[in-house]
């Protein structure tokens, strides 16, 4: 559908993602920077047109921007406030209905106004429960900035706890523009927190940290467990992509790694030239660049259809003279040549445009402006601060005990060096994000909170950080259900994806759970929600030194044989 656009998809227009630093055609600052845990971008149809409510009242357009005076620092309210943007409609609202709150998380929230409508699960909840919907911009993303730049000094108030406190302060203090909007605080009306991906994790972390503040929560593809060495990102891709493509990709990567770790300079240069990146100086940059083809999987949805970037990639490798390869693939020699041809003729231009390969793919040149550009509305920089301090999610090669779709030359130190280059004042040497503290403070995989629905998906590349990670065996309960579909990343957030019966089933289960929970909700008597917030310290800027030991995670077990 024309109004649904995937954030960071290759079809996104440059103008919709422009910031001070030059960006690649897919929206990132650099082609060897990891993909963020972002929910799909959904714009409302005719978002600039007035909206008609159930009773015929004309309401402001979906894209109307409102502002809330949010605290700069919840630990020091004397520092004052900043303007936090939000979008709001009461299209389905009836008195007594819930307030459905959503943040897109690590993105400029402009254009996410589709999450106000029944094109998404948010609007479906509002329609079912007679509620109103809100999209609020996360601090330090878009134009909601406590400080005028994205410097290390400014980022002292960018952490998970401040983001959680933002949601609480907003819910307790906002005067919504709808009728009666000054009388719907969480003690008087039920609030429902909804989020996908990082924002899905934030939903879980908030409900753990602020028990009883929200009457219910819906967390889609929620990456609740912070993981430094997140090689598991590529496991759902390996398990679910076409077997022939998986087999040949693994074979090519094995050949690339073997060659790059050897001493045959002629063979090394031949492989780089094969992909059209002969001038890329560092071999980890050259091999790591091939992750881009696997990252394209994150753009897929059940309604994507043929012709996606990922399917074109696999077709380039596996279709020869009109014939598709068997499950075992065509073999490394053909796949290496075909992959190289696809890069030289098509893909390199798609990700790099007019940039030369070294500038586009090299990560060692600290004179490039994007490393130290502190201009606001730079989602990559703000997200990297989370990555480097609290969540990790470094998308690197698998340990030698497991098959891998991406090079093993890229290890955590590769990405953590980028943290040092982007934030030298905070990281004089590469250090590892304190994920142990994050998981301890917000329960991670151990979350056990009432009235929180988790939606997961087997084909989601972020699955291994969710409650459906391989080997975790988390039990679904009536108070904390887990609905797993055959979908992709955050597929259940989009109602167009209910063409897949498994996704429709998850959405129905979530709507049913929320209906049951809200039926039992009652306002509090003392004028404020009963909460016992945890006291969580801000993360240290210099955490524990990086180690080179691969951690044992929930998915570290015997794998299937698909793709071998």
- Say yes or no to pLDDT of 4 above 80: no
pLDDT score recorded for residue 526:
54
Supply φ then ψ for residue 365, to 5 degrees. -90, 95
Mean pLDDT over 276-282 rounds to 97
| Tokens, residue 336 | 């290496």
Distance CA 228, CA 550 (A): 9
| Tokens, residue 386 | 């989370």
Q: What is the CA radius of gyration of the chain?
A: 23
Mean pLDDT over 387-397 rounds to 97
Q: Are 158 and 139 in contact (CB under 8 A)?
A: yes
Mean pLDDT of the chain, nearest integer: 90
Supply φ then ψ for residue 153, to 5 degrees. -60, -45
Q: To the nearest 5 percent, what fractions of the chain are helix, strand and coil?
A: 35, 10, 50
Least-confidence region, from 55-64, 121-130, 321-330, 544-553 = 544-553
E-strand ranges in 377-509 read 392-394, 452-457, 482-485
Distance CA 455, CA 132 (A): 22
- Say yes or no to pLDDT of 221 above 70: yes
Q: Are 87 and 116 in contact (CB under 8 A)?
A: yes
User: In what helix (H) or strand (E) does residue 133 lie, and over which residues does it extend?
Assistant: strand 132-136
| Tokens, residue 314 | 């696999």
pLDDT score recorded for residue 7:
33
Q: How confident is the model at residue 93 (pLDDT cuts 50, 70, 90)?
A: very high
- Say yes or no to pLDDT of 563 above 70: no
- Say yes or no to pLDDT of 6 above 70: no
Mean pLDDT over 509-527 rounds to 90
pLDDT score recorded for residue 305:
85
Supply φ then ψ for residue 37, to 5 degrees. -85, 75
pLDDT score recorded for residue 525:
60
The set of residues, in sequence order, having a beta carbon less than 8 Å from that of 304 and lying 6+ positions away, is none
Q: Are 488 and 308 in contact (CB under 8 A)?
A: no
- Say yes or no to pLDDT of 323 above 80: yes
DSSP secondary structure letters along 509-521: HHHHHHHHHHHT-
Q: How confident is the model at residue 22 (pLDDT cuts 50, 70, 90)?
A: low
Q: What topology is assigned to 54-66+88-142+162-226+440-520 in CATH?
A: Rossmann fold (3.40.50)
CA atoms within 13 A on the CB side of 75: 11
pLDDT score recorded for residue 201:
98
Q: Are 195 and 510 in contact (CB under 8 A)?
A: no
**Domains of the chain by residue range:** 54-66+88-142+162-226+440-520, 228-423
Helix, strand or coil for residue 26?
coil
- Paired sense of beta strands 319-320 and 323-324, if any: antiparallel
pLDDT score recorded for residue 509:
98
Q: How confident is the model at residue 489 (pLDDT cuts 50, 70, 90)?
A: very high
Distance CA 507, CA 85 (A): 28
- Say yes or no to pLDDT of 102 above 70: yes
Please write the tens of the pLDDT for every residue from 468-477.
999 999 999 9
- Say yes or no to pLDDT of 218 above 70: yes
Q: Are 125 and 220 in contact (CB under 8 A)?
A: no
Q: How confident is the model at residue 28 (pLDDT cuts 50, 70, 90)?
A: confident
Choice between 306 and 403, residue whose per-residue pLDDT is larger: 403
pLDDT score recorded for residue 26:
64
Please write the tens of the pLDDT for every residue from 424-444.
999 998 889 999 999 999 999
Q: How confident is the model at residue 562 (pLDDT cuts 50, 70, 90)?
A: very low
pLDDT score recorded for residue 41:
94
pLDDT score recorded for residue 98:
98
- Say yes or no to pLDDT of 536 above 80: no
Q: Are 460 and 466 in contact (CB under 8 A)?
A: yes
Distance CA 30, CA 351 (A): 9
Least-confidence region, from 8-22, 85-99, 354-368, 450-464 = 8-22
- Say yes or no to pLDDT of 161 above 60: yes
| Tokens, residue 371 | 């490393």
pTM of the model: 0.90
pLDDT score recorded for residue 429:
87
Distance CA 355, CA 189 (A): 53
Mean pLDDT over 292-299 rounds to 97
Supply φ then ψ for residue 117, to 5 degrees. -110, 170
| Tokens, residue 243 | 């077997």
Distance CA 462, CA 232 (A): 8
CB atoms within 10 A of CB 445: 15
Mean pLDDT over 483-509 rounds to 97
484, β-bridge pairs? 456
Mean pLDDT over 501-506 rounds to 98
Distance CA 353, CA 355 (A): 6
- Say yes or no to pLDDT of 367 above 80: yes
User: In what helix (H) or strand (E) does residue 389 lie, and over which residues does it extend?
Assistant: none
Q: Are 468 and 220 in contact (CB under 8 A)?
A: no
Choice between 259 and 529, residue whose per-residue pLDDT is larger: 259
Q: Are 87 and 62 in contact (CB under 8 A)?
A: yes
């Amino acid at each position: 559908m024309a109004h649904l656009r995937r954030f960071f998809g290759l079809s996104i227009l440059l103008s919709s993602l422009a910031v001070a630093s030059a960006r690649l055609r897919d929206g990132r600052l650099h082609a060897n920077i990891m993909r963020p845990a972002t929910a799909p971008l959904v714009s409302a149809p005719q978002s600039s047109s007035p909206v008609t409510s159930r009773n015929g009242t004309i309401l402001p357009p979906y894209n109307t921007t409102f502002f809330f005076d949010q605290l700069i620092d919840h630990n020091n309210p004397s520092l004052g406030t900043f303007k936090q943007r939000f979008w709001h409609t009461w299209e389905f609202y009836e008195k007594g209905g819930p307030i459905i709150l959503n943040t897109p998380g690590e993105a400029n929230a402009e254009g996410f106004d589709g999450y106000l409508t029944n094109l998404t699960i948010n609007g479906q909840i509002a329609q079912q429960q007679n509620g109103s919907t809100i999209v609020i911009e996360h601090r330090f993303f878009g134009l909601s900035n406590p400080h005028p730049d994205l410097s290390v000094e400014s980022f002292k108030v960018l952490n998970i706890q401040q983001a959680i406190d933002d949601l609480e302060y907003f819910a307790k203090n906002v005067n919504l523009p709808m009728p009666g909007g000054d009388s719907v605080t969480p003690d008087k009306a039920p609030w429902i927190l909804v989020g996908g991906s990082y924002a899905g994790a934030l939903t879980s972390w908030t409900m753990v940290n602020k028990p009883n503040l929200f009457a219910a929560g819906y967390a889609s593809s929620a990456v609740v467990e912070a993981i430094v060495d997140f090689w598991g990102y590529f496991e759902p891709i390996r398990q679910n992509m076409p077997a022939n493509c998986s087999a040949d990709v693994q074979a090519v990567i094995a050949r690339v790694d073997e060659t790059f770790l050897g001493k045959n300079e002629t063979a090394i240069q031949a492989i780089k030239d094969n992909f059209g990146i002969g001038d890329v100086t560092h071999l980890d940059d050259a091999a790591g660049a091939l992750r881009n083809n696997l990252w394209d999987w994150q753009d897929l949805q059940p309604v994507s259809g043929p012709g996606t970037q990922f399917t074109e990639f696999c077709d380039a490798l596996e279709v020869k003279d009109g014939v598709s390869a068997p499950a075992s693939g065509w073999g490394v020699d053909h796949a290496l040549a075909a992959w190289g041809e696809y890069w030289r003729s098509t893909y390199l231009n798609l990700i790099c445009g007019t940039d030369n390969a070294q500038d586009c793919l090299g990560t060692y040149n600290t004179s490039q402006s994007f490393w130290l550009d502190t201009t606001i509305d730079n989602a990559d920089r703000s997200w990297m601060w989370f990555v480097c301090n609290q969540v990790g999610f470094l998308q690197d090669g698998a340990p030698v005990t497991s098959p891998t779709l991406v090079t093993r030359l890229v290890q955590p130190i590769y990405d953590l060096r980028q943290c040092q280059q982007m934030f030298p004042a905070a990281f004089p040497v590469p250090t590892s994000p304190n994920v142990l503290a994050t998981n301890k403070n917000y329960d991670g995989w151990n979350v056990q909170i009432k009235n929180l629905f988790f939606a997961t998906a087997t084909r989601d590349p972020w699955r291994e950080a969710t409650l459906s990670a391989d080997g975790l065996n988390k039990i679904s309960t009536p108070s904390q259900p887990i609905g797993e579909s055959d979908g992709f990343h955050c597929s259940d957030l989009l109602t167009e994806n209910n063409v897949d019966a498994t996704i429709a089933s998850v959405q129905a289960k979530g709507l049913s759970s929320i209906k049951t929970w809200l039926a039992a909700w009652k306002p509090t008597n003392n004028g404020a929600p009963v909460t016992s917030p945890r006291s969580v310290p801000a993360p240290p800027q210099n955490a524990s030194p990086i180690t080179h030991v691969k951690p044992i995670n929930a998915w570290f077990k015997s794998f299937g044989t698909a793709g071998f």
